Structure 1
Amino acid sequence: MSVQEIADQADMIVAGYAFKVLEDHIEITDLNNLSKTAVIQNDELVESVMSDEEDAIVMKYYNRNKDLLKETVNA
């Protein structure tokens, strides 16, 4: 997939990270490096190929915006 395709399918983009809500988890992709991805399930980071620093950043963005993300998906 291209950056444009991932961005188009994202439910939320924050600071270059695309968040895509799926049935039982959320996939996060770094739009600046598509090989860096993570998965959040039940508000916890369960998989990641990002650095520890990026994991912390992604979780910070998620926690700040999860209510908006849920509203967007349920709209």
Structure 2
Amino acid sequence: MSNFVVLHPGATDRRRRWAAQKFAAVGDALAAAGADVVVTGTKPEWECVNTVVKTMKAIAPTITRYLEANSKQIVFRLPR
């Protein structure tokens, strides 16, 4: 099984958000180290998520459209 990393760059309070470019740099570093990176966010966070993915050099899928603003958790099923 590969290393699987989920980046969630959004925050309800924009003052607590880290810059999308910094998340992209972290995502690229993790991908370069062999991790499979996925970027998540809720619908209101789409702009931030999209910026992270477009800024990354590595390919990172998003699952933003599948998350609801009130979701408390998300479960990932990994292949065995």
Normalising by the residue count of structure 1, what TM-score does the alignment of the two structures yield? 0.33
More strand by proportion, 1 or 2?
1
Normalising by the residue count of structure 2, what TM-score does the alignment of the two structures yield? 0.32
Which structure has more RCO (C-alpha within 8 Å, separation ≥ 6)? 2
